[in-house]
Amino acid sequence: MKIEDTVAVITGGASGIGEACARRLVASGAKGVAIIDMDAERGNRVAAELGERAMFLQVDISDEAAVNAAVEAAVARFGPVGALICAAGIAGPAKLVGFKGPIEMSKFDRVIKVNLYGTVHMMRACVPSMQSTEGNADGERGVIINIASGAAYEGQIGQLAYAASKAAIVGMTMPLMRELAASGIRVVTVAPGAFETPIYEQMPPETKQGIIDKFLFPKRLGQPDEFASFAEEIIRNPMHNGRDYRFDAGNILMPQ
């Protein structure tokens, strides 16, 4: 798929790897990029810096109606969606049974609703738009890049809800690819490791360094633009389909 012909919708696009994807796609000539996020200050700033081929929409992706309205607004401005990158997510750390007792189900539900339901809401809203296009010479009409996490495979203690939500995203990849193949829509899931994002910026320096010390190579956190480079490759190369990619330099986080 040519970036120059693509309208991209990116959740979590106001910071971290989502922001990096938005910046890279605009720089690579994307027709339009819709940045979806809850952080209006950062989202509006990023969209303003990127210019007329970017727009910001403040949306809680756990809200189905709000997602539908946002995608409609993006299509009205730029045209049919060609690429969806679902980078938004929340951590919601909690043990099954902590010192205050069993996990509050409202906390578990919130993580599932944002990370899992939010991803499904976005796909439900964007896929019909992709299907409405004629497609390229291969019949390709769109690509979905869902973001999981290493926690989908080796969740740390206290990542019960987060790991469950990300494992579910991994589990959706193959059935979605098989279903949407007839429409020329590819589905890929990427599970990034530790990247230089707001979560790690808020971490005490000694804790952050302790994580890095256990890495093999390179001995640093990943850079958001390194992820964005891989996302661009997935969009451009039609052979990326139906797979879950670990993008973590071979590093596995410790149990806690």
Indicate which residues carry an active-site annotation: 162
Q: Read off the DSSP letter of residue 138.
A: T
Taking the C-alpha atoms of 221, 227, 230 and 235 in order, what is their torsion angle to the nearest 10 degrees?
Answer: 170
What values do phi and psi take at 134, rounded to 5?
-80, -25
List the helix and strand counts (H, then E) for the chain: 10, 9
Secondary structure of residue 15 in the 3-state scheme: coil
What DSSP string describes 43-71? HHHHHHHH-TTEEEEE--TT-HHHHHHHH
CA 79 to chain centre: 21
CA 10 to chain centre: 7
